[in-house]
Amino acid sequence: MYNKLIYSLIFLILSIKPLIANEDFMSLRNDKVNLRQGPSFDHPVKLYYQKKYLPVQIIDNFENFKKIQDHENNTGWIHTTQLSKKKSALVTEDNTYIYSSNTIYSKPLAIAEKGKLFLIKKCNLNWCKVTADEVTGWTQRKNLEGNLG
């Protein structure tokens, strides 16, 4: 009896983990966001972000501040009002194709370079529907980093 209960709990934990895995990503809410050295407005600004919807990974919380890490491994604290749950991602590979549907055999619509920012419409196991610069299409999930949902 206990073995079944233990196996059931392990299965439940392992199946829930992928569902909450992307909870640690958020995006920047505004075009100008301050990254601070500590979790208060009294701490000095380390750098300024000037890219709305840039995905950042949440690595810690303190009161109304979240400690983040960006794609260049910069870390610091951002006030929660400057963060959004809007899904976004950066392209991680040069010459990443954007297709009209979620197959490599569909019509290529555009080629994205490494570092291109996309908003995520939806994702499935291997593909994400993305949009940027008046282009909406599908790209392989393995070429994106960020909040893929």
Q: What is the pLDDT of residues 62-89, one digit of tens each?
A: 999 999 999 999 999 999 999 999 999 9
Residue 35's closest CA among 24, 43, 26, 25? 43
In the chain, how many domains are there? 2
**Tens digits of per-residue pLDDT, 93-126?**
999 999 999 999 999 999 999 999 999 999 999 9
**Tens digits of per-residue pLDDT, 12-46?**
454 444 444 445 999 999 999 999 999 999 999 99
Which residue range forms the structural domain that includes residue 31? 25-82
What is the residue-averaged pLDDT of the chain?
A: 87
CB 90 within 8 A of CB 146: yes
Please report whether residue 8 resides in a domain. no
Q: CB-hemisphere CA count at 13 Å for 83?
A: 23
Please report whether residue 2 resides in a domain. no
Please report whether residue 18 resides in a domain. no
Residue 55's closest CA among 37, 41, 40, 78? 78
